[in-house]
Amino acid sequence: MIRYKSIDVSGVANQRSLGTLLVGISGVRRHVDAVQYVETTGTLQHDATLELWLEQEQLLSMPVQALLDGASSPVRLPDQWIPVDLDLPEGKTLSAGHISGSTASDYSIVVRYTEE
């Protein structure tokens, strides 16, 4: 069954901000298909670095500009899902967040996963 979970992560200028997205559960197979990041800051900053972590292993580090139509454009590209393809190990935590630029940014982050 396809499931979705979302978290909101508030940023701090020039610092990493992470939140727990999903935890592996005993006896349940969780396969992470993709993540989506949407900036919710009042005045959009477009200068953060998006991150995804499995415990201490960094799975994604990507400038938010990669999701924009042009380096400084506020227009987001139509397909915002970033492929992940990860079987979440039992007891392991998948965290997501960002490093804000010189002004704090806030993000809503959604994970799409299957659970059996």
Q: How far is CA 25 from the centre of its chain?
A: 20
**What's residue 44's pLDDT?**
74
pLDDT of residue 75: 64
Residue 57 is predicted with a pLDDT of 97
Nearest Cα to Cα of residue 9 among 108, 99, 95: 108
Mean pLDDT by 10 residues, the chain (116 residues): 96 96 96 94 84 97 83 64 96 97 93 96
| Centroid of chain to Cα 106 | 11
pLDDT of residue 86: 97
What are residue 53's DSSP bridge partners? 58, 95
According to the model, what pLDDT value does residue 89 have? 97
- Nearest residue to 67 via CA among 57, 78, 58: 78
Task: Provide the pLDDT for residue 10.
Answer: 96
2-115 folds as Jelly Rolls (2.60.120)
> Can you give the pLDDT at residue 71?
55
SS3 (DSSP) at 12:
coil
- Residue 94 φ then ψ, to 5°: -100, 120
Reading the block at residue 82, the tokens are 């970033």
The pLDDT score that the predictor gives to residue 73 is 57
